[in-house]
Structure 1
Amino acid sequence: MFKSFWGSQEQQASPRIQEVPQSSWYPPSVVGSNSSRPSTAGSASSSGLNVQRPLDHSPSSSIGPVPPSEASSIIFLLKDKSVDELRKLLSDKDAYNQFLHSLDQVKTQNKVRDDLRNETLQLTRENLEKEPQILELRNQCRIIRTTELAAAQERLNELQMKKDETLKFYSPAALLQRLQEAMNKTDVESEALYNQFLEKEIDLNTFIQRYKKLRTTYHKQALTHLAAKSSIG
């Protein structure tokens, strides 16, 4: 039937097909001049059919080149159609679109497109539903930054100051200074005790016990000061 239509009936169909309008609803992949198009397109061209690219951008015109396996299945659907049906597909946009969307390949692509669109819409709805929660979390983060974080920063600054004071208090220079001050204080106390003895404000036994204790403390402090100064130097 297919061979008979494009072979023995070529001369009969040629005058009638030439009457088809120059503008066709076929996409460029079907009517274009590429090596993968079926032989029927060459037959139609040899019979005087001058098919052009559609002037408008119909949905079908954006379809890319048809693979050979899919082209053969499309040819199988077209081979039993009459000349009038083929002419109608070439000239009638609605008829062409109806035939196009009846193909299994197109149905599959449309289903995939619809599934992707529905999934995208579902994700969008879920994101919109979570928007109040996102805003609430954002407000909580702002509150934490302005209150809890400020308090924690202030506490950290206080601890840092205490740390600096402690390090300064136990620094070698500070220890030497305190040892020197303790030595001076003990020396002054022992000198004052000696003056009290000269003024006979205290007796000899009391003077000896207290003075001996003060001078022992003084010499201990002096030896510690000397050792610390030597180790630091």
Structure 2
Amino acid sequence: MFKSFWGSQEQAASPRIQEVPQSSWYPPSVVGSNSSRPSTAGSSSSSGLNVQRPLDHSPSSSIGPVSPSEASSIIFLLKDKSVDELRKLLSDKDAYNQFLHSLDQVKIQNKVRDDLRNETLQLARENLEKEPQILELRNQCRIIRTTELAAAQEKVNELQMKRMKLLNSIPPPHCFKGCKRP
């Protein structure tokens, strides 16, 4: 007997595979020596289905739980396979990859990835084409900062000096008659 991914007890209808070849590239948690079925994290839980996938040795891989609808579509594709075909999927990386890349979900994901890659490359090319224009604008800003800004700062300083002279020549408001400036 085994538990299905919904938690109910079911009788195993097919004979169990005695041994998975030692050359399997799956992790030990997926390939058990006494079971024909991959072990699944949370298989006794009815809240979610966590199907184990082959190890991905890239550091950026993040494998999350598989939704029940995804799992059911994959199970539908696997249910008609013979024991030998399933054993080959477990032991032959090329056969597994061929099966994996035949799945609609994977085809869609690959197309989205390729579209994003192409759009990113196009944006990068456009940015590189604008680099000479950016350098020219940066040089113009540097020229403006060194010449025009210095002239404007000098003009502001002159105007502030004139303002101070004018303010000093006007008597304070409380001293309209007879006040002397210090």
- Which amino acid counterpart does residue 137 of structure 2 have in structure 1? L
* Aligned equivalent of 1:97: 97
Q: Bigger relative contact order, structure 1 or 2, given CA contacts below 8 A and separation 6+?
A: 1
Runs of 4 or more consecutive aligned structure 1 residues displaced over 6 Å after TM superposition = 27-30
Equivalent residue runs for 1:42-53 within 5 Å: none
Preserved contact between residue 89 and residue 96 of structure 2 (Cα < 8 Å):
yes
Distance 1:144 1:117 in 2: 39
Preserved contact between residue 25 and residue 90 of structure 1 (Cα < 8 Å):
yes
* Aligned equivalent of 2:38: 31
Same amino acid, percent of matched pairs:
78
- Normalization by structure 2: what TM-score? 0.68
Query: Which structure carries more helix by proportion?
Result: 1
* Aligned equivalent of 1:152: 152
Q: After TM superposition, give the deviation of residue 147 of structure 1 in Å.
A: 0.3
* Aligned equivalent of 1:122: 122
Q: 1:62/1:91 Cα in 2 relative to 1: closer, same or farther (>3 Å)? A: farther
Q: Is the partner of 2:125 in helix, strand or coil?
A: helix
Q: 1:19/1:31 Cα in 2 relative to 1: closer, same or farther (>3 Å)? A: closer
Asked if 1:106 is matched to 2:113, the reply is: no
Distance 2:136 2:96 in 1: 54
Q: After TM superposition, give the deviation of residue 23 of structure 1 in Å.
A: 5.1
Preserved contact between residue 26 and residue 55 of structure 2 (Cα < 8 Å):
no
Distance 1:170 1:118 in 2: 71
Q: Give unpaired runs (5+ residues) of structure 1.
A: 1-5, 38-51, 177-226
Distance 1:129 1:159 in 2: 45
- Normalization by structure 1: what TM-score? 0.55
Distance 1:78 1:55 in 2: 20
Q: Is the partner of 2:113 in helix, strand or coil?
A: helix
Write out per-residue CA displacement over residues 74-98 of structure 1, whole angstroms, 9 at most, x where no aligned residue: 1111111122211110110000011
Q: 1:144/1:53 Cα in 2 relative to 1: closer, same or farther (>3 Å)? A: closer
Q: 1:55/1:101 Cα in 2 relative to 1: closer, same or farther (>3 Å)? A: closer
Over the residues paired in the alignment, what is the CA RMSD in angstroms?
3.4
- Aligned residue pair count: 153
Q: 1:120/1:101 Cα in 2 relative to 1: closer, same or farther (>3 Å)? A: same
Write out per-residue CA displacement over residues 120-169 of structure 1, whole angstroms, 9 at most, x where no aligned residue: 22222222222222111111111111000101111111122222222333
* Aligned equivalent of 2:3: none
Write out per-residue CA displacement over residues 26-57 of structure 1, whole angstroms, 9 at most, x where no aligned residue: 576893333348xxxxxxxxxxxxxx986772
Distance 2:92 2:79 in 1: 19
Preserved contact between residue 25 and residue 93 of structure 1 (Cα < 8 Å):
yes
Distance 1:87 1:107 in 2: 24
Which of these two proteins has the greater Rg computed from alpha carbons?
1
Q: 1:56/1:155 Cα in 2 relative to 1: closer, same or farther (>3 Å)? A: closer
Distance 1:94 1:34 in 2: 25
* Aligned equivalent of 2:9: none
Q: Give unpaired runs (5+ residues) of structure 2.
A: 1-11, 31-36, 45-51
